Amino acid sequence: MSVREIITLPHPVLRRKARKVTDFGPELQTLIDDMVETMRVAPGVGLAANQINVPLQVIVVEYHENEEDEESPLKLYTVVNPTITRTSAETVVDVEGCLSVPGISGEVERYEVITVKAQNRRGQPLTLKPKGWLARIFQHEIDHLEGVVFVDRAEKVWQQETTPGQVVVDNV
């Protein structure tokens, strides 16, 4: 595994729709392993392949199994060719940031619950029904695959304030 460079706006790959994955061979497995390592080192809770300049429909997400308990174990999702097939009527506005838009935060309205149809890293069908913050992370990362960055959806955007030596953690 290796850490790859995360590209930032205005890099054109971030504005293009990613290609569907058709080959689930060793190159994809290496890509996914590298994405997980890159996400963890960044640090972040999600990463889309086009954020490391690979325009393929692959995302990785790592979040607490129990959203209410930040001490609960982390669960890793590796998702290929994801599509949101169902959304809740309820939406929530909350603050997001992005590894590809460093130093910027914004308020984004997202669905509270979604259904995602996809494939796992081996190409097998996968259905997920994330809710709450996990649903927000999935929507954020799937947007990347469509060439959409959170600032495109944000109602308000602002520069993050930091003090010298402070590390800003990407909160989506």
Say if residues 34 and 4 touch (Cβ distance below 8 Å).
Answer: yes
Kindly name the residue from 5, 71, 107, 141 that is annotated as catalytic.
141
Q: Which tokens is 15 given?
A: 């504005």
**How sure is the predictor about 49, in pLDDT bands with cuts at 50, 70 and 90?**
very high
**How sure is the predictor about 168, in pLDDT bands with cuts at 50, 70 and 90?**
very low
* CATH class of the domain whose range is 12-159: alpha beta
Catalytic residue status for 70: no
The per-residue pLDDT for 164 is 53
- How far is residue 97 from each of residues 20, 107, 108, measured CA to CA in Å? 26, 9, 10
- The kind and range of the H/E element at 138 are helix 132-145
The residues spanned by each domain of the chain are 12-159
**How sure is the predictor about 53, in pLDDT bands with cuts at 50, 70 and 90?**
very high
Say if residues 53 and 13 touch (Cβ distance below 8 Å).
Answer: yes
Buried-exposed string 141-162: b where 16+ CB fall within 10 A, e elsewhere: bbbbbebbbbbebbeeeeeeee
Give the pLDDT confidence of 80-132 residue by residue, as tens digits. 999 999 999 999 999 999 999 999 999 999 999 999 999 999 999 999 999 99
**How sure is the predictor about 66, in pLDDT bands with cuts at 50, 70 and 90?**
confident
Q: Which tokens is 70 given?
A: 């930040």
Task: Please name the amino acid found at residue 55.
Answer: P
